[in-house]
Structure 1
Amino acid sequence: MNHRDHLLSVIDALTATGDVVPADTRPVEGAVVVGSGDSLSSALLAQAFGHRALSSGDITFLGRLPVGTQTVVGISHSGTSGATVQALRLAREAGVRTVAVTSNAGSPLADAADEVQLVPTLAVDEVVPCAGHLMLGLGVAAVCGVQTRGATSALSTRLRDLAPVVDGAVAALGDTAPRGISVLSLPDLRGAADFWMLKLIEATGVPTRSVALEESGHVDYFIGPEAHLEVQLVGAYGEARHERLARALESTGQTVLPVHIAGDGPDADARDRLLHELAGAVVGTVVAEAAASRWNRPPFRGGAVNMDASHIKLDGQPVA
């Protein structure tokens, strides 16, 4: 499947999928939203609505809640991520409101929560996955009080409009894998950048980090002499800074790949900003899988990595 077929398969699945229906509960307040892996990227989206996002292990393995926590929202598509289940159990024992965002109503995560925000499963065949993140991201929007009616259709429309951006990014990939990758962003695309990082690692096995735009000028400027790829996610803000920084990075031997994801400006509402991030995440997934093919680096190290997921279950704390 080429990159355009990959993108169209996600678009078609969104078109065929129903909306996330908000649970009949009040929006969360003072929330710490937790997840692991892709679900942590979904949790990061809550920051745009004034909440905090943490790796679920930050609560589970410290054994305490951050100061001022009023609600803990646990995110897991399957509802079986060990550290996330345990984080909700800990929060519940502390008497804090708990909410699960999951596709599995019968999961341990749902059992650990006072309230459950269910999300549909997006029916799409994937090698490098993004479907769960899209639905969980809309689930985050729902618990934050954002209107989700019509959101899946609106997201599919955005992705159709971004097809030329995907084509351009794939065409600009070199034929040889870099030694490392940085994904640069401003806060309007920070969640998307975090997801790009995950997907580039999964797809290519190349060490990748997500970094705030300005920090790349303070750190990435010195990377080398090994080949390093700087992916710039450019939205509605900071384009001139992106361009000036690109020239500086190129002067020290970096390869810069600008990816212009049509941005929502200052007048955009909360839903539009969320869809902007989710669309950017899909672009990153499709480009990452295309990079794996171009660089002859099969996803998940070509099956060399044990994918039974036992290492993300809590030691001595079964969640099944």
Structure 2
Amino acid sequence: MTTTAHFDRVTSALRAVEDVRPAIGAAPEAALFVGSGDSLSSALLATAFGHLAASSGDLTWTGRVPAGVRTVVGISHSGTSGATVRALRLATAAGLRTVAVTSNPDSPLAEAADEVQLVPNLGLEETVPCAGHLMLGLGVAAVCGVDTAGAAAELAALIDAQREPVESALAGSPAEAPSGISVLSLPELRGAADFWMLKLIEATGVVVRTVPLEESGHVDYFLGPQPHLALQLVGADGAERFARLATALESTGQTPLAVTLAAPAARNDRAGALFELAGAVAGTVFAEAVAARWGRPPFRGGAVNMDASHIKLDGHPVTA
């Protein structure tokens, strides 16, 4: 699929989908948002609103909720992610308020929660998925008190603006797969960077990690001699620092590649959440395209078992 066709499918679906409608009471205070995989990327969006985010397993497999947390928000598109369901059950046992963000009102996650923020299904067939994250991300924004009326259409327009940056990044990407990739970001795109990491791993099978911008200067500087790609997700903040660090990394044999995403004009909570989600789509399109360039078919060409039974709640069927 061409990058143009990929962008078109996502934006067309967003313009046709119903709005996410806020469905819980007061926005939570001192909340912990939990999810696994793509849903953890959705949880990270809540950190811009002063909340915490963590892997569901951090609660489930330690049996502890961080001190001071009053609400636990569990995120799962299917509502059957085992660690996330168990995390809400643990929170309930601790006497905390619980909220589920899911597309499935009849799921175990919805059943385990005091309140449910439903999100619509975008209805896309995808090789490397991003649709669920988009809807869950809008659900997280709604839980955090953002007005989501018309947000899907606004998100589609912002995704459209990422076409040229992705094409430019692809033109500058190496001809062959590196041994590893670092995805550098500042807070405005930290959730998007996490999603880039996931999609690059799924699409290419290359080892990928996320790195706060300044930390790359302390760590990536020493990588080598194997070829390493430093992807810089540049938004409205820190462009000069990104450029200076790229020069330093290049001097040590690294391959820095700036992806300057088109930031929204507004600087508010809603615009920030939509920018993160638009950045996530850009990462998905880039990952699939660069995998094709490097001859690395997604999910290792079908060699990986994709039934995901090892992360689903016991006794429940695997769904999208």
On whether the aligned pair clears a TM of 0.5, the verdict is yes
Which residue of structure 2 lines up, in the alignment, with residue 273 of structure 1?
272
Could you tell me whether the CA contact under 8 Å between 2:183 and 2:208 is conserved in 1? yes
Which residue of structure 2 lines up, in the alignment, with residue 149 of structure 1?
149
Which residue of structure 2 lines up, in the alignment, with residue 163 of structure 1?
163
**Corresponding residue SS for 1:218:** helix
CA offset digits 1:30-68 (Å, max 9, x no partner): 100000000000000000001000000000001111101
Q: How big is the shift at 1:319?
A: 4.9
Could you tell me whether the CA contact under 8 Å between 1:231 and 1:258 is conserved in 2? yes
Q: Any residues of structure 2 matched to 1:308-319 within 5 Å, and which?
A: 308-313=307-312, 317-319=314-316
Regions of 4+ moved over 6 Å: none
Counterparts of 2:91 and 2:186, CA distance in 1 = 32
**Corresponding residue SS for 1:229:** strand
Which residue of structure 1 lines up, in the alignment, with residue 298 of structure 2?
299
| Matched residue type, 2:87 | A
Q: How big is the shift at 1:262?
A: 2.2
Q: How big is the shift at 1:264?
A: 4.5
CA offset digits 1:207-240 (Å, max 9, x no partner): 0001000000000000010000010001111111
Could you tell me whether the CA contact under 8 Å between 2:165 and 2:262 is conserved in 1? no
Which residue of structure 2 lines up, in the alignment, with residue 16 of structure 1?
16
Q: CA RMSD in A?
A: 1.1
Counterparts of 1:251 and 1:159, CA distance in 2 = 33
Q: Mind listing any 5+ residue stretches in structure 2 that lack a counterpart?
A: none
**Corresponding residue SS for 2:183:** strand
Counterparts of 2:56 and 2:206, CA distance in 1 = 25
Q: Any residues of structure 2 matched to 1:1-320 within 5 Å, and which?
A: 1-264=1-264, 268-313=267-312, 317-319=314-316
Counterparts of 2:168 and 2:144, CA distance in 1 = 35
Counterparts of 1:162 and 1:201, CA distance in 2 = 21
Counterparts of 2:128 and 2:169, CA distance in 1 = 17
**Corresponding residue SS for 1:263:** coil
Percentage of identical aligned residues? 66
Could you tell me whether the CA contact under 8 Å between 2:161 and 2:262 is conserved in 1? no
| Matched residue type, 1:198 | L
Counterparts of 1:262 and 1:237, CA distance in 2 = 12
| Matched residue type, 1:85 | V
Q: 1:24 to 1:86 in 2, by over 3 A?
A: closer
Could you tell me whether the CA contact under 8 Å between 2:24 and 2:143 is conserved in 1? no
Counterparts of 1:318 and 1:33, CA distance in 2 = 25
| Matched residue type, 2:76 | S
CA offset digits 1:53-97 (Å, max 9, x no partner): 000000000111110110000000000000000000111111110
Could you tell me whether the CA contact under 8 Å between 1:120 and 1:135 is conserved in 2? yes
Counterparts of 2:52 and 2:284, CA distance in 1 = 25
| Matched residue type, 1:135 | M
Could you tell me whether the CA contact under 8 Å between 1:4 and 1:167 is conserved in 2? no
Counterparts of 1:143 and 1:232, CA distance in 2 = 30
Q: How big is the shift at 1:24?
A: 4.2
Could you tell me whether the CA contact under 8 Å between 2:74 and 2:99 is conserved in 1? yes
| Matched residue type, 2:35 | G
| Matched residue type, 1:55 | S
Could you tell me whether the CA contact under 8 Å between 1:31 and 1:69 is conserved in 2? yes
Q: Mind listing any 5+ residue stretches in structure 1 that lack a counterpart?
A: none
| Matched residue type, 1:32 | L
| Matched residue type, 1:309 | A
Q: How big is the shift at 1:189?
A: 0.5
**Corresponding residue SS for 1:77:** coil
CA offset digits 1:81-114 (Å, max 9, x no partner): 0000000011111111000000000000000000
Could you tell me whether the CA contact under 8 Å between 1:82 and 1:319 is conserved in 2? no
